[in-house]
Amino acid sequence: MPSRSLPGSRMQPFPTERIACARLAAYIVASNIEASVMGSWSPGRTFYASADGPEKPIRPKDRSVLLALDNRRDYSVKRSGMPPKQQEFPTSHQGRSMHWVLLANGPLDLAPHIRTLIASADRVVGVDGGSRHLAPLSILPHLAVGDMDSIPGDLLASYRDAGVEMDLHPPKKDATDLELALELALERGATRISILGGTGGRLDHTLGNLFLLSRCLPAGIPACVMDEGQCVHLTDQPLTLTGSVGDTLSLLPATPEVSGVTLSGLEYPLHDATLTFGTSWGMSNVFTETTATVTLRSGRLFVFHLFRP
């Protein structure tokens, strides 16, 4: 097999077997680092240190250590699973799962399940001013997207100093920063997308963000807009939701008609019903079990899952 040498190095080329040994050594070093630092490694490639002074994000200098930690984190997430509020997506995608979390610039309460969602993501994207939600968590995003007209200047400067990848756009454009981030996630192989900070601000932005979910339907990518109290899906396929007895489920047609609507696990079941746009028939149903199922034959349906306080 071909051998490798470091660029600009006078060392002799070394075989691939030694590369494998080096990676194993890096993994062991990473294990020791992970055990010695405070907390656990975040999805934004950040360490936490507090030995001398306040906690602040730092980065490993050795990329081998970084990759080893990335592999450890992926394994631990798959092994431990995720809380019920995050298990609302079909698992039909083949290959490695790639969960992208996009943080928009709307209001966001960093409730425990929101923090867990961010910590379990494979990619964390700060969408312009939405990056501010990561600052209290001392997390660096994998990627910052937008025209950067609403992100605090000192935060943007810290991202540049830390080498965060930037996808910059002019202020005058034909798409919102969130739509650009969503397109990028789809282009880079996301198999699941969660949008945070996409509700609670301007009503036009909230509605626009909800309808952006339609961009994921042709590719069959499960996506939702989520905040501390609810998770909103747009679906044209059967959907199973995991929650708690007493949670609320509301349905709103996104097309003139949605036919073949059948519900189970809810106080008010439906069987082969047709919901029409502009009516409120599907509002305020209630979970009677820990899972609820929504099936439909044609059309597109907004599914609102409101978590019981």
Q: How big is the CA angle at 39 (ends 126 and 88), to the nearest 5 degrees?
A: 55
pLDDT digits (tens, 9 = 90+) for 183-192: 999 999 999 9
Please indicate whether the domains covering 96-228 and 230-309 agree at the CATH topology level: yes
Whether the CA torsion 210, 214, 217, 219 is positive or negative: it is negative
What topology is assigned to 230-309 in CATH? Answer: Rossmann fold (3.40.50)
Query: Whole-prediction pTM value?
Result: 0.70
pLDDT digits (tens, 9 = 90+) for 139-168: 999 999 999 999 999 999 999 999 999 999
Question: What residue has token string 């282009």?
Answer: 187
pLDDT digits (tens, 9 = 90+) for 204-251: 999 999 999 999 999 999 999 999 999 999 999 999 999 999 999 999
Instruction: Please give the single-letter amino acid code of residue 280.
Output: S
CB atoms within 10 A of CB 242: 19
Alpha-carbon 248 to chain mean position:
23
CATH 3.40.50.10240 assigned to domain 96-228? The reply is yes
Domain ranges of the chain: 25-48+63-80, 96-228, 230-309
Are residues 274 and 251 in contact, defined by beta-carbon separation less than 8 angstroms?
A: no
